[in-house]
């Protein structure tokens, strides 16, 4: 199952919140086959904004971190039809447009899960279920997405 990664998951991977969350995020991503991971392109821009605004990390380090992720994980660009779908999602569910765009891109990319701390855990839309990977017990879809061979 393909898994989309929201901005907050990517930011957690850098360790700016805590080493424990960074380690937990690293362990989680190691259990999901890389070929099943996806980053909506918008999340890279949001990650840049968060890291340059909330940390003292040099811009060059932020850039290198983001480029490394982009080299390792598939990126899904936003298309015009994604914005149209995002407007429909935002209107129907009273979500922010940017969260709706991430959901729309995830759905178009055939992701079954969007890992996020910011959206409602268990919310489903257009075939995508939002899962907070730090909640226990582990959501059944996330358990399914994790590669048991790791």
pLDDT tens-digit readout, 19-65: 999 999 999 999 999 999 999 999 999 999 999 999 999 999 999 99
Residue 69 lies in a domain: yes
> Which pTM does this prediction carry?
0.94
In a domain, 6, yes or no: yes
What ranges in 32-136 are assigned the alpha helix state H? 41-54, 59-72, 80-93, 97-108
Q: What is d(CA 51, CA 43) in angstroms, rounded to the nearest whole number?
A: 12
Secondary structure (DSSP) of 3-30: EEE-HHHHHHHHTSS-HHHHHHHHHHHH
- Its domain, for residue 11, covers 2-145
Q: 123 in a domain, yes or no? A: yes
> Per the structure, how many domains does the chain have?
1
We report the CATH number of the domain holding residue 92 as 3.40.50.1010
Q: What is the pLDDT of residue 16?
A: 87
89-121 confidence digits (pLDDT tens): 999 999 999 999 999 999 999 999 999 999 999
> Which strands sit side by side in the sheet containing 128-131, from one edge to the other?
74-76, 37-40, 2-5, 111-115, 128-131, 124-125
Does residue 150 fall inside a structural domain?
no
């Amino acid at each position: 199952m393909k898994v989309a990664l929201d901005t907050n998951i990517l930011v957690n991977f850098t360790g700016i919140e805590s080493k424990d969350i960074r380690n937990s995020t690293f362990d989680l991503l190691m259990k999901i086959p890389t070929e099943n991971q996806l980053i909506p392109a918008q999340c890279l821009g949001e990650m840049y904004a968060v890291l340059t605004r909330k940390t003292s990390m040099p811009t060059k380090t932020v850039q290198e971190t983001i480029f490394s992720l982009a080299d390792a994980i598939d990126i899904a660009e936003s298309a015009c039809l994604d914005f149209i779908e995002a407007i429909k999602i935002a209107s129907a569910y009273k979500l922010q447009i940017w969260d709706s765009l991430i959901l729309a891109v995830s759905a178009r990319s055939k992701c079954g899960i969007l890992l996020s701390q910011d959206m409602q855990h268990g919310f489903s839309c257009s075939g995508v279920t939002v899962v907070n990977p730090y909640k226990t017990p582990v959501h059944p879809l996330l358990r399914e997405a994790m590669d048991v061979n790791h």
